[in-house]
Structure 1
């Protein structure tokens, strides 16, 4: 479940909330579940970057120099550069062993000589040599190279890594056609490779020891504990979210009630179609309810619907639904006197009269 990937289902037609940027009545505000998933991914990415750099340094610092010293070349290089690179590596190792050169300075000298732009080619040589001497199988080497490549998505396309945790219609439309870059299995697989490398290189290679692991030890321990804690918490929140959705989805069915056809909550006459102003009579912006729409909204509360269910049914924000519920309570709640509504012919979409109700009429029809 690591990372809890969110899948968005493309609606058959139109938007669930046509007058909003978001596909949720709660708007753009994040839920506790969404916040915890994003926290989980942020911690996961931090650990991934450290493990990634550790393995890359091992391949470039310990495997690659041995490969070129043994004349193992997967790609063509200038002969003098091969010889000088091998010589430089030996000198740096001797200087490090004699404590005449720090690890950081040695790494800087290696990178300066080898050139950062050639790192990809050097990794190919290192992985090919690692397969030859039995550190990795060909399948493992291929998988590990793909895992290391995930670093480019994190460094340059972090927005795509997080794109599925969104309520924005544009982001949802994008993820419906292009899968998010997030790889929930990357950290776990990279952790496995990191743990098996020391046992695989015994009697085959010397490994350069550094302070990186010691410097990151406390952070790594805290992050690993946080991942386990968040994993348990997210699993519980997902269960609660599914139960909540299952419970509220039962409120969406209006079959067998009066609120169908021209009395349905999404009927066009229930919503303002434009922003207009005539003298002192201001018409609210698109998406606001008409008087007829307010009455339909109140009838949903008459049926015992929750504000969240009303928000989904009417296509309004949860905040607006809660305000309508307060006004419904002020008007009498379950004991209020219902207002008349104009009826429409479903074929011509023209008004066809006023609803006939047995209850006492108060105010003018809507």
Structure 2
């Protein structure tokens, strides 16, 4: 198990992390719909067109029953040959379908980099780093879906489907929530960056003599239950005397922000 980085805020998701996860949830649903809708549209349209034009079955690999994955591969070749998409876009369809399958079968890979156990993103058994969330996937899937459908209209028979209408209310709602959450996430990132900068400044401002005397990482400062010993109390008071913020002290001593804040109030009361 990899070593976790210290989180003064605790294991529960922060407000920013919660908003990121909500944002991803809406985008993930859109990817699921867009790619499934696109895949069905492509396969149905080519099948119907081949039946009506006597083209033969361009979605068959000659076996008794062609697997759906192979059908989609053949369909992409047909779209490239017909000039509906180029090879790069064909490859992108494959990548997005693979991404959709990861969502369906390994949803944890879409969230592993957010929260208290984000270091797990570096591990995927013997396969190396986890290939996780793609924040551009929903937008790319929507654009590619529209391009393929529009491009196929003049060269293939379209099969009528009410899938898009059935999903329209959900799509409108999710897109609105995505815009709202994007604004919240951007604001949260700005606040986090400011907190990081203020914390770094606070730590850099602590005199070297204070750090050598306080020794904030020394194990003698904490009891087995996590409470501070007398030396720990002395240490954190020295840090506050040197104008360390509660967040900086929590980082330096590897304690919770809640505990550091309580000690900061005690330090203020003792002055």
| TM-score bucket of the superposed structures, by smaller chain | 0.7 to 0.9
Structure 1 CA distance for aligned equivalents of residues 105 and 139 of structure 2: 22
Partner of 2:147: 196
Answer whether contact 2:50 2:58 (CA < 8 A) is retained. Answer: yes
Match of 1:136 among 85, 99, 112: 85
Structure 2 CA distance for aligned equivalents of residues 318 and 180 of structure 1: 32
Task: Find out whether 1:229 has 2:180 as its counterpart.
Answer: yes
Match of 1:70 among 55, 67, 74: 55
The alignment's C-alpha RMSD in Å is 2.5
Partner of 1:46: 29
Deviations 1:211-245 (A, max 9, x none): 11111111111111111122222112211211121
Q: Give 5+ residue unaligned stretches, structure 1.
A: 1-13, 16-20, 82-113, 273-283, 334-366
Compared CA separation, residues 170 and 141, structure 1 to 2 (3 A): closer
Answer whether contact 1:160 1:181 (CA < 8 A) is retained. Answer: yes
> Alpha-carbon deviation of 1:160?
1.2
Q: How many residues align?
A: 265
Match of 1:260 among 211, 218, 221: 211
Answer whether contact 2:34 2:145 (CA < 8 A) is retained. Answer: yes
Partner of 1:309: 248
Task: Find out whether 1:123 has 2:72 as its counterpart.
Answer: yes
Normalising by structure 2, what TM-score? 0.87
> Alpha-carbon deviation of 1:57?
0.5
Deviations 1:104-150 (A, max 9, x none): xxxxxxxxxx67xx111111121111111221112211111111111
Answer whether contact 1:64 1:125 (CA < 8 A) is retained. Answer: no
Partner of 1:165: 114
Structure 1 CA distance for aligned equivalents of residues 208 and 70 of structure 2: 69
Match of 1:291 among 230, 236, 247: 230
Structure 1 CA distance for aligned equivalents of residues 237 and 122 of structure 2: 33
Task: Name whichever structure is richer in helix by fraction.
Answer: 2
Per mean C-alpha deviation after superposition, the further-off stretch among 310-319 and 224-233 is 224-233
> Alpha-carbon deviation of 1:249?
1.0
Structure 2 CA distance for aligned equivalents of residues 139 and 173 of structure 1: 29
Answer whether contact 1:25 1:318 (CA < 8 A) is retained. Answer: yes
Q: Give 5+ residue unaligned stretches, structure 2.
A: none
Answer whether contact 1:64 1:122 (CA < 8 A) is retained. Answer: no
Normalising by structure 1, what TM-score? 0.66
Structure 1 CA distance for aligned equivalents of residues 10 and 204 of structure 2: 23
Answer whether contact 1:160 1:180 (CA < 8 A) is retained. Answer: yes
Higher relative contact order, structure no. (Cα contacts within 8 Å, ≥ 6 residues apart):
2
Deviations 1:276-314 (A, max 9, x none): xxxxxxxx43x4422112111112222332221111111
